[in-house]
Amino acid sequence: MKRTWTIIGVADVARSFKWYQSLFGQPATLPAHDYFGQLVDPDGTVLLCLHQWGSHEHPTLTSPDHAQPGNGLLLFFRVDDFSEALSRARALVSRLEEEPQMNPNTGTMEFALRDPDGYYVMVSALAAT
């Protein structure tokens, strides 16, 4: 089996860690480091990695000033608790980027919002309703 570990640059790892845990309905925990954290599903699957801008010398994570954060990137998550995820999302942001709608390609409901660093986050139901 192969899995990707998506890593995004963030201003505040702890803040973003808490935000994504809230969106995914995960228990509140702290990231492993102040500069890096992994959001992990109960089965051990890494869902998303958060890396503080400027920590270490990764060329694409030096600063958000070099490019618009999220330009060319869509964080797309499939969830098995769509209605609950929608409620949690509405509690995290003042408005959704896209209200819930049926994606004709996947046959599933989805919505979109922005995370604290401006990344575009699409949340889709795991299965068609």
**What mean pLDDT value characterizes the chain?**
91
Assigned domain for 55 exists? yes
Q: What is the 3-state secondary structure (H, E, C) of the chain?
A: CCCCCCEEEECCHHHHHHHHHHHHCCCCCCCCCCCEEEEECCCCCEEEEEEECCCCCCHHHCCHHHCCCCCCCCEEEEECCHHHHHHHHHHHCCCCCEEEEEECCCCEEEEEEECCCCCEEEEEECCCC
Tell me: the pLDDT tens digits for 1-48?
A: 677 889 999 999 999 999 999 999 999 999 999 999 999 999 999 999
In a domain, 13, yes or no: yes
Share of the chain above pLDDT 70, in %: 96
The model carries a pTM of 0.87
1 found inside a domain:
no
* Predicted local confidence at residue 41, as pLDDT: 93
Range of the domain at 47: 7-125
Total domains in the chain come to 1
Q: Is residue 119 part of a domain?
A: yes
pLDDT at 1: 64
67-113 residue pLDDT tens = 776 777 889 999 999 999 999 999 999 999 999 999 998 899 999 99
Say which CATH number the domain at 44 has.
3.10.180.10
Does a structural domain hold residue 40?
yes
